[in-house]
Amino acid sequence: MSLSIIQPMICGQAFSGRFGILHNLSKKIFHRNYANHQSKQLEVIYLIGLINKRNVQYYGPIQMGTPNQQLSVIFDTGSPYLWVPSDKCTLLKCHLSKRFYTQKSTTYKNYSQSDEIEYASGSCKGFWGSDYVQLLGDSNTRVLTNILFTYYDSGFDAVQSDGLLGLSNEKEIDNIFDLAYKEGNIKSNLFAMELKSKEEQSLFYYDEIPNEIMNNVEWVRVLRNDYWTVKVLSISVNGQFIKAGKYKEALIDSGTSLLYLPEKVVLSIFEELILSNCRLLDGNMFCPCSIPKSEVDNYPKIAMFLEGIILELDITDYMILDFSFQGMCYIGIEVESQMNLMIFGDIVMRKYVIVFDKQNNKIGFKGVEKLTNIKTTAIFWIEIFGFGAIIISCLLLQMKLMKL
């Protein structure tokens, strides 16, 4: 079951946490060859352009069946399954989208097994089957895979994509890249996401990830064999560490638009924001949309300490300009109350290029600050004893130096 998020309401409109508001697909796959200026060798890059709708969701094109039928899917690292609406969907039973016409595919197979996938924001029902799937225009990724062909969904009225492509770390379920790799059609089952704001091109890399990315990532181990979860050592707001309590893990989830943090952390952030001319509206935080660069430092800076790296965000990262009300823009931070882990959604993923290595159970972050051993030790003592431990540690260190 996918880890879904309830859609909050902003000024009467559904704002999607897990499934964004999308539009019809127009991007195609790109295969780029470019010269590496340092080695003067030709590097082949496999990537697909993702559509970004209002900075709350990213999706791309796939082809299914024989002959191919084109549909759009959310590229979701938070769930393991591939599902698309079938021709059994009607306007009264399913959200408005394209359908996959099973009778038009000569390679379609029905398993005659019904199932339901439940999300916090809704659910979809369908029947399991199989057919060929590939990324648009790339036959190397064409594989025969299991698919849930839906005939009913609820809670997805604001969703304009057709279906969802699960890319979680579930070891018992192969995604299309796992299958293509096992069949020898591609060299690697690695994939990477470079999410950008709507003015820029968002990219999904697969097979051979560019050297410029791979040579500049910091790797973090993944804790589970089902989801892309990483250990969170601590979180600070404006340099002040806040105990996260039972929350020790974070899910890296491209299917979630927002940043979900423990209540204590969110309250601390909101308290700082209210002091900076922001205000709460219907339970959601809004801040002035136009913030001069010289005033960015007046707003809370959030630092999330993982094993070996620090993820840092400022107001320009966690404010969503596309959702505004009377000159005030939505702050994409919410309290995580449904699960015992934090969720680092698109707000975090837009800041860094992230590589997902399912085979070696690790995630790579490009553009992060390294966490030194000294900082790691300090965080450990803060988490246990608070800031008093740091003062004691400094005094002990000073005494040791005096003896030397």
- pLDDT at site 305: 97
**Averaged pLDDT, 370-375:** 71
pLDDT, greater one: 295 or 7: 295
Contact of 212 with 45, CB cutoff 8 Å: no
**Averaged pLDDT, 371-392:** 56
Q: How many other C-beta atoms lie within 10 A of the C-beta of residue 98?
A: 17
State whether 162 and 222 are in the same domain: no
Contact of 299 with 289, CB cutoff 8 Å: no
Confidence label for 8 from pLDDT (cuts 50, 70 and 90): very low
State whether 170 and 239 are in the same domain: no
Go through 281-304 and write b for each residue having 16 or more CB atoms within 10 A of its CB, e for each that does not: eeebbbbbbebeeeeeeebbbbbb
DSSP 296: G
- pLDDT for residue 28 is more than 90: no
Domains in the chain, number: 2
State whether 131 and 229 are in the same domain: no
CA 12, 16, 20: angle at the middle one, nearest 5? 125
Spatial CA neighbour of 59 closest among 45, 49, 46: 49
Confidence label for 35 from pLDDT (cuts 50, 70 and 90): very low
**Averaged pLDDT, 310-336:** 94
The CATH number for 361's domain is 2.40.70.10
Contact of 305 with 235, CB cutoff 8 Å: yes
Averaged pLDDT score across all residues of the chain: 85
**Averaged pLDDT, 112-137:** 92
State whether 187 and 301 are in the same domain: no
pLDDT, greater one: 25 or 262: 262
Spatial CA neighbour of 149 closest among 166, 131, 134, 176: 131
**Averaged pLDDT, 259-273:** 96
- pLDDT for residue 4 is more than 80: no
Domain C-terminal end among 206, 233, 252: 206
Amino acid identity of residue 175, one-letter, is: N
State whether 30 and 80 are in the same domain: yes
pLDDT, greater one: 50 or 200: 50
Q: How many other C-beta atoms lie within 10 A of the C-beta of residue 384?
A: 9
- pLDDT tens digit sequence for 61-101: 999 999 999 999 999 999 999 999 999 998 889 998 999 99
Q: Is 156 domain-assigned?
A: yes
Which of 94-103, 251-260, 342-351, 380-389 comes out lowest in average pLDDT?
380-389
- pLDDT at site 25: 26
Q: Is 194 domain-assigned?
A: yes
- pLDDT at site 9: 38
The rounded percent of the chain whose pLDDT value lies above 90 is 68
State whether 191 and 223 are in the same domain: no
State whether 361 and 222 are in the same domain: yes
Domain C-terminal end among 206, 232, 262: 206
State the alpha helices, DSSP H only, in 234-386: 263-274, 315-318, 346-349, 373-385
- pLDDT for residue 381 is more than 60: no
Q: Is the dihedral of CA 139, 362, 218, 203 positive or negative?
A: positive
Confidence label for 120 from pLDDT (cuts 50, 70 and 90): low
State whether 67 and 134 are in the same domain: yes
Radius of gyration of the chain (CA): 22
Written as six digits, the tokens of 258 are 């927002």
**Averaged pLDDT, 215-228:** 97
The range of the structural domain enclosing residue 51 comes to 9-206
Q: Is 390 domain-assigned?
A: no
State whether 276 and 377 are in the same domain: yes
Domain C-terminal end among 206, 225, 257: 206
DSSP-derived 3-state class of residue 292: coil
Which of 98-107, 146-155, 229-238, 373-382 comes out lowest in average pLDDT?
373-382
Q: Is 394 domain-assigned?
A: no
pLDDT, greater one: 313 or 199: 313
- pLDDT at site 142: 98
- pLDDT at site 157: 82
Residues acting as catalytic residues = 76, 253
E strands along 155-194, which residues?
A: 163-166, 191-194
Q: How many other C-beta atoms lie within 10 A of the C-beta of residue 153?
A: 24
- Helix and strand numbers, DSSP H then E, in the chain: 7, 29
State whether 160 and 241 are in the same domain: no
Confidence label for 232 from pLDDT (cuts 50, 70 and 90): very high
HSE-CB at 32 with a 13 A cutoff on CA atoms is 15
Q: Is 211 domain-assigned?
A: no
State whether 266 and 350 are in the same domain: yes
Q: Is 399 domain-assigned?
A: no
State whether 137 and 187 are in the same domain: yes
Q: Is 3 domain-assigned?
A: no
The rounded percent of the chain whose pLDDT value lies above 70 is 81
pLDDT, greater one: 15 or 188: 188
Q: Is 95 domain-assigned?
A: yes
